[in-house]
Amino acid sequence: MRLVQVLILLNICLVAWSYRILVICAFPSKSHCTVFEKISLGLMEKQHDTTFVSYFPIEKPPSNYTSVDLRQPGHSYLNFLDMKMFTGTKLEKWLVMNLALAYTKKVCGKDFGSDKIRTFLEQSGPFDVIIAPMLNSECYLSFMYKFGAPVVGLSTVSVTEWISEKFGLPSNPAYIPNTLSDLVKPTTFVERIDNLLMGVFQRLYYEILIVSTGEKTAKEYFGEGLPPLSKLVYNVSMLLVNNHFNVHVSRPLVPAVVEIGGIHLGKICGISQVDLEKWINESTHGVIYFSLGSMIKGHTFPDEKRQEFLKAFGRLPQRVLWKYENDTMPGKPDNVMIQKWMPQLDILCHPNVKAFISHGGLLGTTEAVHCGVPVMVMPQYGDQFTNAKALEANGGGVILHLYEATEEKVYDALKTILDPKFKKQAEELSTRFRDRPMPPLETAIYWVEYVARHRGAHHMRTAAVGMPLYKYLLLDVIAFLLLVFGLVFAASFYVTRAIFRKLFGKKDKQKGD
């Protein structure tokens, strides 16, 4: 009898400390939603009731999970980006904002206005805290207005230019690279000009086109009484960033911005596919793993470039695992195995895997750093150029752009990262990355619970949030001081001149007499 009473008491205590949490992953992209999914699962393990709004519902969820599936009947949400879409030119780095706008039109358009969302808004709530994306789909910030709950923003990439100011985060283009550029440290005069102009362009593009697109749909739901999204965003309590200073350049952070880079990393379970594990173990000289992530499909690889890679692979003693979505690959040498899906983290952390060929996506880059595997990076779009440069600068990889890839260049790049000295650098980077006071998932959960406990965390925001640019840069103070200095200088000049005229003017007059 006493045991039953104890169990009931424990259950009451557990329920008392649980929160109702809404997690929104408004990305039709599996890699982005992986970060949101990990946080959701972590919160559920802490016994919080979690509602997950996503294009990718969690498989085999626990009982304290509610799903809102954003997928629409008859629509395909398979990630598909053709490599022929990306040329790697400088202009493309500027125009990548068009891709962000396309995402916004989809997410904040018909999908946001679906019956599923309407039903959810009518039947759900209240929530203690909302976790919302902070990248390019601000229409979901309107849920803050609907439910009256504090919001924790989540950025699946390093902090973008247009988000920095919302948290008073210093983003000086003199030394902080733009997330969508290809810089690590803008040192030259031309690089600093490019970094500044790219940031200004992105802010204007975001505010004029992207925010207005989301706001139009949000007002259809909530009416004209809905505050502008550009104002609501300043009420977000804090920002969790899928980044870590050991992967990207160090930058000053305010208390309301917390790095959780590596949050998606799970336990290394070992390779369950017997044939794949056998193939890796029996490779005398080790294995090279080749994957372009979930969004870029391997079969879109240009034929002529694929042949250059295959010829380079044929010259290597190592075996190559290539994530490739077709059943066959013409011209494939015997040391290359293709498969449509592979357990990437388990493979990268296998002791016989010596190198990784990647497109530079943040999740794959983080996994390579975690496992201490050197990378040959072929960035294609978005933040991949910055990720590649950062990895190269930290000694974790080399860059080879696809448009310049030839058999010799591929072979030379792979020989470089297969060198034991390069492997040692990658392992040192891995050691620094792993050395932190708390695992990233525990860090994220702590701050989400913190915001829920205190009904927001506006006390963590600096006075710079929402401050006009002229105040932030002290332009009014500088102008005032220049004016005072000018007046003092002018007064001193005229007084001094009058004194000198009076003194020397009398002497000249006496000499004349």
Separation between Cα atoms, residue 365 and residue 373, nearest integer Å: 10
Separation between Cα atoms, residue 310 and residue 333, nearest integer Å: 7
Q: At which residue do the structure tokens 């009256």 appear?
A: 148
Separation between Cα atoms, residue 509 and residue 513, nearest integer Å: 6
Cβ atoms 248, 390 nearer than 8 A: yes
Q: Residue 296 has what DSSP assignment?
A: B
Residues across the chain = 513
Q: Residue 227 has what DSSP assignment?
A: P
List the chain residues with pLDDT less than 70.
Answer: 1-17, 73-90, 295, 298, 505-513
Q: How many CB atoms lie under 10 A from the CB of residue 149?
A: 23
Q: Residue 81 has what DSSP assignment?
A: B
**So what's the pLDDT on residue 31?**
82
Separation between Cα atoms, residue 295 and residue 82, nearest integer Å: 9
* Closest residue by Cα to residue 99 from 202, 216, 231: 202
Instruction: Report the DSSP pairing between strands 336-339 and 238-241.
Output: unpaired
Separation between Cα atoms, residue 292 and residue 295, nearest integer Å: 8
Q: At which residue do the structure tokens 């305010």 appear?
A: 254
Separation between Cα atoms, residue 460 and residue 146, nearest integer Å: 24
**So what's the pLDDT on residue 512?**
55
Q: Using only C-alpha atoms, what is the Rg of the chain?
A: 28
In sequence order, which ranges of 124-165 are alpha helices (DSSP H)? 142-147, 161-164
Beta bridge mates, 296 = 81
Dihedral angle, C-alpha 45, 363, 174, 429, nearest 10 °:
90
Separation between Cα atoms, residue 73 and residue 305, nearest integer Å: 37
Angle formed by the axes of helices 407-417 and 303-314, nearest 10° = 50
**So what's the pLDDT on residue 87?**
60
**So what's the pLDDT on residue 488?**
94
**How far from each other are the two terminal CA atoms of the chain, in whole angstroms?**
125
Q: How many CB atoms lie under 10 A from the CB of residue 277?
A: 17
User: Edge to edge, what strands does the sheet with 397-399 contain?
Assistant: 336-339, 319-323, 287-290, 353-358, 375-377, 397-399
Helix, strand, or coil here: 94?
helix
Q: How many CB atoms lie under 10 A from the CB of residue 200?
A: 11
3-state SS record for 396-422: CEEECCHHHCCHHHHHHHHHHHCCHHH
Cβ atoms 375, 389 nearer than 8 A: no
Cβ atoms 443, 341 nearer than 8 A: no
* Closest residue by Cα to residue 71 from 108, 114, 39: 114
Kindly give, in sequence order, each residue whose CB lies less than 8 Å from that of residue 52, ignoring residues fewer than 6 positions away.
23, 25, 36, 37, 40, 58, 61, 65, 66, 67, 68
Separation between Cα atoms, residue 474 and residue 167, nearest integer Å: 18
* Closest residue by Cα to residue 357 from 306, 317, 315, 393: 306
Q: Residue 350 has what DSSP assignment?
A: S
User: How confident is the model over 108-140, as pLDDT tens digits?
Assistant: 877 887 888 888 888 887 899 999 998 877 888
Cβ atoms 153, 236 nearer than 8 A: yes
Cβ atoms 448, 129 nearer than 8 A: yes
**So what's the pLDDT on residue 500?**
85
**So what's the pLDDT on residue 125?**
78
**So what's the pLDDT on residue 511?**
56
Cβ atoms 202, 178 nearer than 8 A: yes
Cβ atoms 232, 145 nearer than 8 A: yes
The burial class, CB within 10 Å (0-12 / 13-18 / 19+), for 1 is exposed
The burial class, CB within 10 Å (0-12 / 13-18 / 19+), for 498 is exposed
Residue type, 134: M
pTM: 0.87
Helix, strand, or coil here: 338?
strand
